[in-house]
A and B are shown apart, each in its own frame.
Chain A
Amino acid sequence: MPREYAIGRAAELSDGEHRVVRVAGRELGVFNVRGAFHALPNLCPHQRGPLCEGGVSGTIDYGPHTDYKLAWIWEGEVVTCPWHSLEFHIPTGRCIAFDDIRLRTYEVRVTDGELRVVI
């Protein structure tokens, strides 16, 4: 059964901020993207770098999602691994370079101002 684990106050993680937390024997990165909270494993599948210690930005891309034009997209939704710069889309866990790689995403609930991650 999934359980909720408290990981801090929502007010302490402002829009655009992220932080790494230890919870239930694992390390997760918790992100506030324009008021929506997301969590990803703090483990890059490439060489096991501390993914969520990386910076958050947008990225440049091209394809059906950009109407086949070069575009700066997903501002504030992309975390880049500090080790080798592999990029991941925070809300979906999708690896932007390798579409077949998806990180597990964790639901983050806000109850009475408290952030709770569902594991």
Chain B
Amino acid sequence: MTTHVAAGEQSAKRRETLAEMFVVDADVHVHEDPAQLAEYAAPPWDVALREIAKTPERYLDLPGMSPRAEYRVPFPGGSNRRQIVTSAAEMRGGLDELHVDQAVLFPDHLLSLAMVRDPAFATALASAYNRWLHERWCSEERSLKGALVVAPQNPDAGARDIRAYAGDRRFACVYLPASGLKTLYGHELYDPVYQAAAQAGLPVVIHSVETVYPAFPFQLEQFRTSLAVHALAHPLSMVANLVSMLETGVPVRHPELRIGFMEAGTAWIPFIANRLDKEYIERRREVPLLQERPSVTMRRFYYGTQPIEEPERRRDLISLFELFDGENCAMFASDWPHHDFDHPQHFLGLPFSPEARRKIMGLNAAAFFGLDVPS
């Protein structure tokens, strides 16, 4: 017997395929070539970038520009896959294979921007990157949107960059680098960034990276392995910044601002929500700006899924998402082309309801980033 299904409808038994589904990838990474950035950098920083371009680079590790402390003991082997993407056309090709309709572009080396010690260079680097990304990568035709980077070393300059691009739909969000960040994102010194982002209608997204650095919570030098540092750096960074932002009432002081957290998986979300709720019972008077349980405020935030947890019992992941209402605030992210990227096909196979799957795979991100959803 043949069952006819009208276009756009799904039979109760057949799972929607990736090709049929609206898939937004909330986090993919472009590779910045310092020689190219030099073309967009204000003097004298163009000279420095051309000098940096002479140095052989390694994965997310480029002396002078991407100061990542790498203490891993090297052995042969490991993945031989190319883990960088160097053009918009190459990115679109890779995303087509993943069945991703729209994607938001984050950097490679500028994941470490907060650790650049000269604030003037960090500021110039951010502005050059934004111009380069805007001109060479962001593309309506390819459905690639940019994340406009702010150098936390100079929030006023970041706010100026945001205002300069306000209303330009090529940017989907403001990216706040969290790795090695000295002053957490709850501090009032970032208010100009939040005001500019809210006025421009752009959400802010906090994104970290694996590093060992003497700023909380990255003092991870006691650990010996990437297993330890990578497991801790991302979620601890998200926890620290989220708590900082709640403590100072960022979502209350900037009620129009949409806030997202990227690349730490999801298990940390119910942990810190429950921990904060418990503290709130006793210590509400310390945070009078919060008008409700922290976990309720946290439900206004959005969270990238990658690297999605892989519990032995797959239904445990569904239970985990129920603990933070992930159906309505989780956004599929692949982290393509990095070492721990999540394939959408894997995500598609998880036992979510069809409605939850559609929201997590695309509709939540469309709401967060303000993307058009095809009818």
Contacts and interface: CB of A to CB of B under 8 A. Distances in A.
Interface residues of B, number: 14
Nearest to B343: A47
Interface in A29-60: 47-49, 53-55, 57-60
Contacts of B339: 84-85
Contact of B79 (A58, A60, A81): A81
Contacts of A57: 76-78
A55 B80 contact: yes
A82 B79 contact: yes
B81 interface: yes
Interface string A72-90: 1000001011111101000
B342 to A, nearest CB: 8
Nearest to B82: A82
Contacts of B342: 47
Interface of A: 47-49, 53-55, 57-60, 72, 78, 80-85, 87
Given A84-B339, A84-B340, A85-B339, A55 B77 contact: yes
B216 to A, nearest CB: 29
Nearest to A56: B77
Contacts of B78: 55, 57, 80, 85
Nearest to B75: A60
B77 A58 contact: yes
B345 A82 contact: no
Contact of A83 (B76, B77, B343): B343
15 contacts: A47-B346, A48-B345, A48-B346, A55-B78, A55-B80, A57-B76, A59-B75, A80-B78, A80-B79, A81-B79, A82-B79, A82-B80, A83-B79, A83-B341, A85-B79
Contacts of A83: 79, 81, 341, 343
B306 to A, nearest CB: 12
B75 A84 contact: no
A59 B340 CA distance: 20
B244 to A, nearest CB: 32
B77 A80 contact: yes
Contacts of A47: 342-343, 345-346
A57 B76 CA distance: 7
Contacts of B345: 47-48
Nearest to A55: B80
B75 A72 contact: yes
Nearest to A79: B77
Given A47-B343, A59-B75, A82-B79, 16 more contacts: A47-B346, A48-B343, A48-B346, A53-B80, A54-B81, A55-B77, A58-B76, A72-B75, A80-B77, A80-B79, A83-B81, A83-B343, A84-B79, A84-B339, A85-B339, A87-B77
Nearest to A49: B343
Contacts of B77: 55, 57-59, 78, 80, 87
Contacts of A58: 76-77
9 tightest CB-CB pairs across the interface, nearest first?
Answer: A57-B77, A82-B81, A55-B80, A47-B346, A57-B76, A85-B79, A47-B343, A82-B79, A85-B78
